[in-house]
Amino acid sequence: MIFDVIKAIVLGIVEGLTEFIPVSSTGHLLLVERFFGFADEDFGKTFAVLIQFGAILALLSIYFGRLWQLATGFFVDPKARRFVIGVLLSFLPAAVVGALAHDFIKTVLFNEWLICFTLIVGGAVLLWIDMLVLQPRYRDAQTFTLPMYFIIGVVQCVAMIPGVSRSGATIVGAMLLGADRRSAAEFSFWLAMPTMAGAFAYDLYKSHASMSEGNMIIVGVGFAVSFVCAWVVVKTFLGYVQRHGFALFAWWRVIVGSLGLIGLALGR
């Protein structure tokens, strides 16, 4: 039990620190599970998804005031209504593809070798986007065009391949469509709300039979740690990328992916 709690703390830290930055939380969790041996347990297959709820609540707690403004202004403020519709448009592709391909993604794409390769490739993409001399047309996530919201949502679907990163795909797509770093990163937060909530609800429905009182204690520990770590990341991420870009995250992906490949080749 003590060892399970320690693993829950470690996974909670990994989930909270990586969920909202472009390094792929799913990829990191699967690699940590692989090298900790947690993936061999039936409950370990659903634990990573369940502790995402802590990260979701951290994001919602920080954005609660703005969410309330959007909710109360939906029927009276055209700008608020347009942004909510934009987020839903962006969420739609992932909802459809995720529902149709859920089993394929879980059984085929959740592969450690694939994760390591996509981590490295994604790092190269982030370095590339950082070096581009872009001329941003949008500096506020609420001013993107409706087609732009939808296209970002289509790009997000690539992140269903573990290791790609949901936030990374969203940020790169938004920047290539004219957003600056900060607005692209912030929209990844807005899009994370329905996307993560939908994924959590679907996986909870699929895996509720494996839950037990003992498992719930472990999830509670992971949830609390994930919440705290994610809260810190959300509060600091936008300011960091606005000043420094994505090089740190790109090189982190390359290092983790490379070490993962070495570990897998050695049979760890």
Contact assessment for residue 57 and residue 28, using Cβ atoms and an 8 Å cutoff: no
pLDDT in tens, 221-266: 888 999 999 999 999 999 999 999 999 999 999 999 999 999 999 8
Spatial separation of the C-alpha atoms in residues 220 and 60, rounded to whole Å? 18
| pLDDT score recorded for residue 59 | 94
- 108-159-185 Cα angle (round to 5): 160
pLDDT in tens, 72-113: 999 999 999 999 999 999 999 998 998 888 778 878 888 899
- Of 169, 144, 165, 171, nearest to 155 by C-alpha is 169
pLDDT in tens, 170-224: 999 999 999 999 999 999 999 999 888 877 777 667 666 555 555 677 778 888 9
Helices 112-131 + 25-36 axis angle, to 10: 140
For all residues of the chain together, what is the average pLDDT?
88
List the domain boundaries for the chain: 2-265
How confident is the model over 31-55, as a mean pLDDT? 70
Residue 136 belongs to what H/E stretch?
none
